[in-house]
Amino acid sequence: MPKISRRTAELPASPIRKLAPLAAKAKQEGKTVYNLNIGQPDIPTPRSFMEGVRNANLSVLSYSPSPGLPETLQALRGYYAEWGIDIPIQEMCVTIGGSEAFTFAMKAALDAGDELIVPEPFYPNYRGYACLTNVKLVPITTYAEDGFHLPGAAEIEAKITPRTRAFLFSNPGNPTGVVYTRAELERIASLAVKHDLFVISDEVYREFVYEGEPISVFQFPKLREHAILVDSISKRLSACGARVGVIASRNAEVMDAVNRMAQTRLSPPTFGQLGLVAFLADPDHKKAVDSMIAKFRSRRDTLFRAIRTIPGVVCERPAGAFYVIAKLPIDDAEDFVRFLLTDFDGGGETVMLAPGTGFYQTPGRGKDEVRIAYVLEEEKLVRAVELLKQGLVQYSKARAKVEAAA
Amino acid sequence: MPKISRRTAELPASPIRKLAPLAAKAKQEGKTVYNLNIGQPDIPTPRSFMEGVRNANLSVLSYSPSPGLPETLQALRGYYAEWGIDIPIQEMCVTIGGSEAFTFAMKAALDAGDELIVPEPFYPNYRGYACLTNVKLVPITTYAEDGFHLPGAAEIEAKITPRTRAFLFSNPGNPTGVVYTRAELERIASLAVKHDLFVISDEVYREFVYEGEPISVFQFPKLREHAILVDSISKRLSACGARVGVIASRNAEVMDAVNRMAQTRLSPPTFGQLGLVAFLADPDHKKAVDSMIAKFRSRRDTLFRAIRTIPGVVCERPAGAFYVIAKLPIDDAEDFVRFLLTDFDGGGETVMLAPGTGFYQTPGRGKDEVRIAYVLEEEKLVRAVELLKQGLVQYSKARAKVEAAA
């Protein structure tokens, strides 16, 4: 019997994967499970997007050009211009979701064994992309107590080695909700220029900013040759299933490599591209996004107020995205989430959260943390936090009993 | 300025890429260019598929499960059952086109530096996937004179080294149109079992068989743990822009690795999956494919008859797919294709073909060959071959002049 490759044997399973069957079992048993563990918004996809797909007047559903349909690239150019960012279409490539954009960015910027500096906690799939592209993630730890802002330049610079080729971060941040200040980004930019490093900036939550402003990596002239923008319509259009993302760079060598990779996989999906074109052609498209953001802001406020009533929780109010990392008064969040799904008595209801360790590269970090995604209506969020609170009480009693018995 | 990775610097550009601007220029100058160089069928996508997309009743276009929507997997199971192939849904994963299925297969079966044996000429993107997954392609040369059938077992076995992990082939074959016999596949199967190798079988042209029958790698019981099936709806549904493919294996370790890779890229596109479900739900779906195949068979006959009237051309009648490799009475097909696009006088018309070298791994092979895709209506095919014939005459005169002057 042939053996599979070592490289895929080492590919991490999503940390939620172990817990998902427990959540499924709880649901099967008739329990209501509030899923705060996933980044799938519940907001309806804009009507203009769906109509763009429905009205697609295609006889042959042919390959689109590898970098995307010309009308999609033009529409994206207009979208970035609304944010004060000028990206000529030859400096962009439509990707199959943000996922592919990350893979292209890592492949273009780093060789096997090269190092990529990334603030932790980070989006767990970064680890999957890094494993599949054979890149080493080097974490800069950030802390709940600091609202997950970056440390000083000296601490960041200390991570740079001869194998370092790039920085990677999401801004606004998943899972932290941090929105980096200009000063923080300037710190990264200066180090990138000093050490000839790429800066891969994940800006898929650009619109999801409740305080401060989203600053794009493309807004730093000195990063002209260094900046690689990763983007996606999944969150801002609530169109995760469209699989439409973007990679952009002003570095001609990067875009040449990206275009050769894009040719190899032929083309991004046509329908999602047409939906995006129709959405951006709607003169009211900004209003649709704004009203969604207002909803998320209100949810954030509600969620944050509720979380702060739980004794012993450490959590700064997040300024962006739709996540919050909360430090809980427990030792092992994964064990706690398991308890919530199996032993917790919430009167037929419970809540599923993402354990913190999945967001860290440093072993042991995040053990007492969870990520909460506010992707449900407010009354559900309030109820879910109430269950979390009860869960913590029941869990500590159960733990005390176990310890007494031991 | 940061440097891009060596690995993407080495990624080959599509061989057509150099010639495409010449074709674009010819079109700009008002010339009619018959594009026989691409694998994009001109057949309308079935109405049922398009209606499935149009009628998608989705409020939120959410991520589909990583291995595909349950209804898509069920529909695919039914499709394979029609071909006498039993694939439980947990042994399948919907991929983002065949492209992703190839990448998953190579990643799961081979580590960096491992060897993959592939008959040449082969689909040029195999080289791109191999480069991106750091796999070494080891060619078995096959010949126009033999209709591109496989050599004997000893010749194939001689290619196996301690680094060999898998075979890869397309059957029916792109670019050769060969349909392997049971005896040929048995030869591969026995060697795979003997040497513990995976067999990656690209069956995207399953329906496109005009003589003989398409035999799936899943029809060899002894390959239970060895077989990896790569498939795509692009050609059979003329739905290249849907980006829906399949990888399937009965080897649980392979599928576990595939599922972890699939999680990392989140999900395949939703609309293409829904179109496929609607298409397969139509009780007449086989008729739609059959009538398309009848059209391709007739085109093949017309094209083949026409090509055989060109003096000095070597070309066996292909039994499948929609390509033919023709050996032309010239030294350098790439130079000839360039001539057709620039200097040839065809009264305002010309033809674009794919030069043969792009389909070979062995340096120098395929220099006198071209691939012709019969993806146009018959009268256009006849006209295109007429232009090819005239082109060869003009080209040999032009060459003679150059040589006389030298």
Contact check, Cβ <8 Å, A12/B125: no
Residues of chain B neighbouring A64 (CB-CB closer than 8 A):
241
Alpha carbon of A108: minimum distance to chain B alpha carbons (Å): 5
CATH number (3.10.520.10, 3.40.50.300, 3.30.1340.10, 3.90.1150.10) of A6-44+286-401 reads 3.90.1150.10
Class of domain B6-44+289-405: alpha beta
Residues of chain A neighbouring B4 (CB-CB closer than 8 A):
108-109, 251, 253-254, 257
**Quick one: what percent of chain A has pLDDT higher than 70?**
100
Strand order in the sheet with A92-95: A92-95, A245-249, A227-232, A198-202, A164-170, A115-120, A136-141
Residues of chain B neighbouring A18 (CB-CB closer than 8 A):
none
Nearest CA in chain A to B100: A265
The residue assigned the tokens 């269950």 is A387
What do you get for the CA distance between the two ends of chain B, in Å? 46
Answer whether residue A283 shows pLDDT above 80: yes
Nearest CA in chain B to A135: B5
A277 near A75, Cβ under 8 Å? yes
Nearest CA in chain A to B6: A111
Nearest CA in chain A to B98: A265
Which residues touch A384 (CB under 8 Å, ≥6 apart)? A34, A36, A351, A376
Residues of chain A neighbouring B62 (CB-CB closer than 8 A):
40, 240-241
Q: What is the residue type of A139?
A: P
Residues of chain A neighbouring B45 (CB-CB closer than 8 A):
58-61
Tokens of A43: 């907001």
Answer whether residue A113 shows pLDDT above 80: yes
- Taking all residues of chain B, what is their mean pLDDT, rounded to a whole number? 94
- pLDDT computed for residue B94 by the predictor: 98
Contact check, Cβ <8 Å, B242/A271: yes
> How far apart (Å, rounded) are the C-alpha atoms in residues B270 and B282?
19
Q: pLDDT digit string (tens) for B197-223?
A: 999 999 999 999 999 999 999 999 999
Answer whether residue B333 shows pLDDT above 90: yes
Tokens of A369: 């943390």
Tokens of B396: 């040999």
Mean pLDDT value of segment A68-89: 97
Contact check, Cβ <8 Å, A266/B58: no
Sign of the four-CA dihedral A62, A66, A70, A76: positive
Count of A-B CB contacts under 8 Å: 247
Tokens of A352: 């599923």
- CB-closest option in A6, A107, A241 to B8: A107
Q: pLDDT digit string (tens) for A331-367?
A: 999 999 999 999 999 999 999 999 999 999 999 999 9
Would you place residue A171 in the very low, low, confident or very high pLDDT band (cuts 50, 70, 90)? Answer: very high
Nearest CA in chain A to B102: A265
Q: pLDDT digit string (tens) for A117-137?
A: 999 999 999 999 999 999 999
- CB-closest option in A59, A129, A238 to B44: A59
> How far apart (Å, rounded) are the C-alpha atoms in residues B2 and B221?
52
Q: What is the residue type of A57?
A: N
Contact check, Cβ <8 Å, B99/A266: yes
Q: What is B47-281's CATH number?
A: 3.40.640.10
**Does the ipTM exceed 0.90?**
yes
Answer whether residue A15 shows pLDDT above 90: no
Mean pLDDT value of segment A66-80: 97
- For A293-297, B4-8, B130-134, which range has the lowest pLDDT when averaged over its residues? B4-8
Alpha carbon of A38: minimum distance to chain B alpha carbons (Å): 11
Report residue A395: phi and psi, to 5°: -65, -40
- pLDDT computed for residue A16 by the predictor: 74
In chain A, domain spans: 6-44+286-401, 47-281
Mean pLDDT value of segment B175-186: 96
> How far apart (Å, rounded) are the C-alpha atoms in residues B392 and B309?
13
- pLDDT computed for residue B8 by the predictor: 87
Q: pLDDT digit string (tens) for B236-293?
A: 999 999 999 999 999 999 999 999 999 999 999 999 999 999 999 999 999 999 999 9
Q: pLDDT digit string (tens) for B64-78?
A: 999 999 999 999 999
Would you place residue B130 in the very low, low, confident or very high pLDDT band (cuts 50, 70, 90)? Answer: very high
